[in-house]
A and B are shown apart, each in its own frame.
Chain A
């Protein structure tokens, strides 16, 4: 087996047996990989803190001929992102970002852009801490990269223009609905300005998180519409989302 090496973000790990660890990590070129780190909990020499969730590492592994777990040989810590541990809100939002990325894409569907997006998101939280804006920017960009972005600025049914003011929205109906097509399906009412804001966010560079400030209305409506869109496409509920709603200011639904 040819040894592989790649830059990676540690998404998650779980303990196995007495001292081993199973680690899920995201790479720019190989997508999401699950690896077996023998004696990772006992030996601090080979892995140290490099397998801590949200860390950025240079990881070395050997693919196995059978099974889907690769064998981890070594991991050099590039960035621990200890700023994420400043408060519970930031730590929980980082976990939510990683779990959302893991669940929204299958192993092979993750490209370099998803890696760069998650990397920029974690870096931003590491430096600036928790914000509702950071969460919404990540959600809308991940939905777009996954190809699940609902129609925002025109009617999802007739593709016609939307009137000013609140319009109906339903992720199940594929997005915004004009009054003529709504027919009671638009379970959410979202202002057209909010729809425009999120449409414009998608035009900004994928890795830019700083200096976004959304109005309270855009934050509230954005959370509702992105939440609706994500619920439509996630194959299981996110464990970290319950934490986020519970422990973060302004997150309760």
Chain B
């Protein structure tokens, strides 16, 4: 049916490549765009092109940026003795949203996965170690995910960093805020009990 409107079919095919977007949703989005003023569609196309043209990875922390080094690395107000290591830029944004961390970051762009054959050379681990060897950091907070891959990465990094004489810490395990114990899975409760602390 859509073949008779090639421009429409092309847009649907492109939108359907987005994560979580199937053909139905892509068609709905295409109809939405069709009904928008011309300027709106141009603004969207321009934003996508600008994203591709203007962004790159920071050469220091490997976060997404338009300037190199990025604004976080250049910020004199951040604690330059504290470094947080995350798997992906999305995790960095999640920590920034919490406003609980005032140090610097390093994005690995993945996690070690013995079962998928993803090794240290596939991640930004070598630049991390070079950064640490330059000195100045007193604590490295490893904020990789709490999955087998995230834990493997944390263990590997700890092994590499500890000989440098720098304190290595890991995010705490626990019960999500606002949740009821009854509905929390056993593994999380188990870790929360193990990691209990005085009040």
Contacts and interface: CB of A to CB of B under 8 A. Distances in A.
A95 B186 contact: no
Interface residues of B, number: 22
Contact of A243 (B20, B119, B190, B191): B119
User: Which interface residue of B112, B116, B148 has the most chain A CB atoms within 10 A?
Assistant: B148
A2 interface: no
Interface string A1-43: 0000000000010100111000000000000000000000000
Interface string B176-187: 000000010111
Interface stretch (A50-58, A106-114, A117-125, A167-175): A50-58
B148 A53 contact: yes
B185 A48 contact: yes
B119 A87 contact: no
A239 interface: yes
B151 A91 contact: yes
A98 interface: yes
Nearest to B191: A82
B185 A44 contact: yes
Contacts of A145: none
A49 B114 contact: no
A32 to B, nearest CB: 14
User: Which interface residue of A52, A95, A243 has the most chain B CB atoms within 10 A?
Assistant: A243
User: Which interface residue of B119, B152, B159, B183 has the most chain A CB atoms within 10 A?
Assistant: B152
B155 A17 contact: no
B8 interface: no
A45 interface: yes
Contacts of A96: 114
How extensive is the interface on chain A, given as a class? 20 to 34
Interface string A173-197: 0000000000000000000000000
Contacts of A45: 183
Interface in A203-228: none
A181 to B, nearest CB: 39
B36 interface: no
A85 B151 contact: yes
B6 interface: no
A91 B152 contact: yes
A91 B190 CA distance: 19
A92 B152 contact: yes
Contact of B188 (A49, A85, A99, A244): A49
Contacts of A159: none
26 contacts: A12-B115, A17-B19, A17-B20, A18-B20, A19-B20, A44-B185, A48-B185, A48-B186, A49-B186, A50-B187, A52-B148, A52-B187, A53-B115, A80-B186, A82-B191, A88-B152, A88-B155, A91-B148, A91-B152, A92-B152, A95-B114, A240-B115, A242-B117, A243-B112, A246-B119, A247-B156
Given A12-B115, A48-B188, 4 more contacts: A45-B183, A77-B187, A85-B155, A91-B151
